[in-house]
Each structure stands twice: as C-alpha cells, then as structure tokens.
Amino acid sequence: MAHTYIRFDFGTDEEKAQLARHKLDGWRQAFRLDKRVQYKLDRPENPAAETTAKPEATEKPAASAKAKGKAAEKPAGKKAGKPAEAAQAKPAAATDGKVGLLVRLYFSPHEKLSEQRWIERIPSEEPFKSAAPKVIHQHDAEFEATDQQFESLV
C-alpha cells in the first residue's frame, strides 16, 4: 500500500497542535480510519528544555520518597494528585519548544479517491491551515527521511 505524509509546523503553539490532534482523533473514530490515518506529534529536543529537565529529575527522587511515607497515611483517593502534578510539568516543558504534527495517510491502491479527498481536506481545515502544511508523496526526495522520522517518533 502506498502512503503519503502531511507535515504541519505549529511553531510554539501547543494549544493548536492539541486541537489538531483532537480533530484527527474525531475523524478517525467517525470515519473508521484507524489504520489509514495515523499521526505523531514531533517535538524536537531543545537544549534549553534539557537543562531545565535535569534539575527536576534530581529533585523527584527526594519528593517521591516523601510521597511514599505519606502514601501509607493517606487514603487511596489522595494519590491521584501526584501524577497530575507530574503531567502538568511535562506540558510546561513542551510549550517552550517547537511542535510539529506528522500525519501518515495509508490507503490501499483501490482507495485512491478517498486518499485524495483526505489529502485535500486535512490541510484545508482550521487548525491545520495556519500550520504551513506540506504534503510529501512516496516519490518525493524527502520521503525516506520523513518515513524514518515517523517511525522513530513515539
């Protein structure tokens, strides 16, 4: 099956990237496109973000040791606050850097019309318009690099 990539660059606008991700999820569920439309968020590592993340990592073991001592005293419902704090720390670090979205359209050869419609529709919708969409077909020169990048993203 042939596949096509669409690359979006949201700059530092994490909110628009999450809105775009949410819209793709809605389409995937509504149109049953689970394997046909896949996406991954691309957050290139920033040297500044790495230096701020390292001190936090050294502070967390001490904080988790305190949490373990308090966990025995508190009911199970109180534990939910700690993961929420950790989850809030990650987006704060992610907003400092650039955010990109890489969408892979993976349609079989007999679904050429559906693929073409999605290639036209996705970049024309609102959260994607301002993100400088770039369509990368299988015969393009940068296809291999984009394919490897998509496979390496988590």
Q: How many domains does the chain have?
A: 2
pLDDT at residue number 41: 94
Could you tell me if 86 and 102 lie in one domain?
Answer: no
**pLDDT digit string, tens, across residues 19-52:** 999 999 999 999 999 999 999 999 887 554 443 3
Element (H, E) at 32: none
Kindly indicate the confidence band of residue 1, based on its pLDDT and cuts at 50, 70 and 90. Answer: low
Kindly indicate the confidence band of residue 54, based on its pLDDT and cuts at 50, 70 and 90. Answer: very low
**pLDDT digit string, tens, across residues 102-119:** 999 999 999 999 999 999
Domain range for 24 is 3-44+98-152
Could you tell me if 104 and 36 lie in one domain?
Answer: yes
Could you tell me if 52 and 89 lie in one domain?
Answer: yes
Could you tell me if 10 and 32 lie in one domain?
Answer: yes
Could you tell me if 52 and 124 lie in one domain?
Answer: no
Structure-model confidence comparison of residues 14 and 56, the more confident one: 14
Q: Look at the block and give the residue holding tokens 């993340």.
A: 53
Could you tell me if 24 and 87 lie in one domain?
Answer: no
pLDDT at residue number 101: 96
Question: Which CATH number covers residue 24?
Answer: 3.30.70
Q: Report the alpha-carbon distance of residue 102 to residue 39 in Å, rounded.
A: 5
Could you tell me if 39 and 113 lie in one domain?
Answer: yes
Kindly indicate the confidence band of residue 66, based on its pLDDT and cuts at 50, 70 and 90. Answer: very low
pLDDT at residue number 96: 62
Could you tell me if 88 and 114 lie in one domain?
Answer: no
Average pLDDT, integer, range 66-88: 47
Could you tell me if 22 and 88 lie in one domain?
Answer: no
Q: Report the alpha-carbon distance of residue 6 to residue 101 in Å, rounded.
A: 8
Closest among 42, 36, 33 to 105, alpha carbons compared: 36
Structure-model confidence comparison of residues 135 and 1, the more confident one: 135
Could you tell me if 88 and 105 lie in one domain?
Answer: no
Q: Quick one: what percent of the chain has pLDDT higher than 70?
A: 66
Q: Look at the block and give the residue holding tokens 């987006």.
A: 91
pLDDT at residue number 142: 95
State the average pLDDT for the chain: 78
The sign of the CA dihedral 18, 90, 47, 148 is: negative
Q: Report the alpha-carbon distance of residue 116 to residue 23 in Å, rounded.
A: 19
Could you tell me if 105 and 142 lie in one domain?
Answer: yes
Could you tell me if 147 and 116 lie in one domain?
Answer: yes
